[in-house]
C-alpha cells in the first residue's frame, strides 16, 4: 500500500526539504498566506498552523503543499528546527530513513482539545492606526474576550486570561496572548466575525496570524 493512502507524520527540519515546482500543489490555506506577516507571527508564536505535505523521492523530501509555512518556519527569528509534516511515499522507504516518525494517537493525546494553553494572536493592518482607531480595536477584542468568558457562552473554547492587546511601534500590528483551549464550537467563527467588523468599520486588515481574511 502506498503512503498516499496511508500518510505518515514525521518531524522534519524545514531546511532539509527541497522544492520541485512540478510537484507543488498549493492548497486554499497556502493561498491565504501573507508571507512577511506569517514569518513575523511564527517568530512570535513559534506555531505553524498547517501540516505540510512532503513527497519522498530517491531519499529526498520534496514539498507538495504547505510551502509558505515551511518558508516561514525557516525564516522565523530564530528559525524553527522542526515541523510536523505529512510524508507521502512508499512506507518501507520512509521507515528506512532517519525521519523522526510521529505516532498520530500520541500526537493527539499530547494536546487534547479541552487542554488550556497559552496562544498568541496577531492582527496585521494595511496601514498605521491612530489613537482613536487603536482604542476601537482594543474595545472590539476586549468585547470578544468578555463574551466568550461569560457564563452564558456555550459555543466551544475555554478562555481563562488575556494579556494585551499591545501595538508595535509602527502602530500597524496588534497582538495579544490568552489562555484558551481548542474545544469544538463557534468561538473562532465569532472571532472571525469580530475581525471582519474591525476590517470594515475601523481599519483594513491585511492578515490574522499571517493569513488573509478572504
Which regions of the chain carry the CATH code 3.90.1530?
A: 8-110
Instruction: Specify the CATH class of 8-110 in words.
Output: alpha beta
What is the pTM (predicted TM-score) of this model? 0.88
DSSP label at 211? B
Which regions of the chain carry the CATH code 3.30.70?
A: 117-208
pLDDT tens profile 62-71: 999 999 999 9
How many H-runs (helices) and E-runs (strands) does the chain carry?
7, 10
pLDDT tens profile 179-193: 887 765 677 788 899
pLDDT tens profile 133-173: 999 999 999 998 888 887 766 665 677 788 989 999 999 99
CATH classification code of 117-208:
3.30.70
> What percentage of the chain carries pLDDT values higher than 70?
89
* CB 166, CB 180: distance < 8 Å: no
Cα separation values, 2 from 6, 65, 80, 94, Å: 7, 18, 29, 11
Amino acid at each position: 500500500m502506498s503512503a498516499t493512502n496511508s500518510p505518515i507524520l514525521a518531524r522534519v527540519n524545514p531546511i532539509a526539504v527541497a522544492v520541485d515546482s512540478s510537484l507543488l500543489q498549493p492548497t486554499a490555506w497556502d493561498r491565504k498566506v501573507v508571507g512577511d506577516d506569517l514569518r513575523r507571527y511564527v517568530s512570535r508564536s513559534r506555531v505553524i498552523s498547517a501540516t505540510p505535505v512532503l513527497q519522498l523521492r530517491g531519499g529526498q523530501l520534496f514539498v507538495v503543499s504547505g510551502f509558505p509555512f515551511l518558508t516561514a518556519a525557516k525564516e522565523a527569528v530564530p528559525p524553527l528546527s522542526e515541523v510536523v509534516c505529512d510524508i507521502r511515499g512508499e512506507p518501507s522507504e520512509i521507515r528506512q530513513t532517519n525521519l523522526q516518525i510521529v505516532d498520530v494517537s500520541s500526537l493527539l493525546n499530547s494536546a487534547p482539545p479541552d487542554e488550556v494553553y497559552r496562544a498568541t494572536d496577531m492582527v496585521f493592518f494595511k496601514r498605521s492606526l491612530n489613537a482613536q482607531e487603536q482604542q476601537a480595536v482594543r474595545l472590539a477584542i476586549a468585547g470578544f474576550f468578555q463574551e466568550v468568558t461569560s457564563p452564558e457562552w456555550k459555543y466551544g473554547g475555554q478562555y481563562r486570561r488575556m494579556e494585551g492587546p499591545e501595538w508595535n511601534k509602527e502602530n500597524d500590528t496588534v497582538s495579544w496572548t490568552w489562555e484558551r483551549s481548542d474545544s469544538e464550537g463557534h468561538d473562532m467563527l465569532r472571532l472571525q466575525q469580530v475581525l471582519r467588523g474591525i476590517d470594515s468599520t475601523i481599519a483594513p486588515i491585511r492578515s490574522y496570524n499571517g493569513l488573509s481574511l478572504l
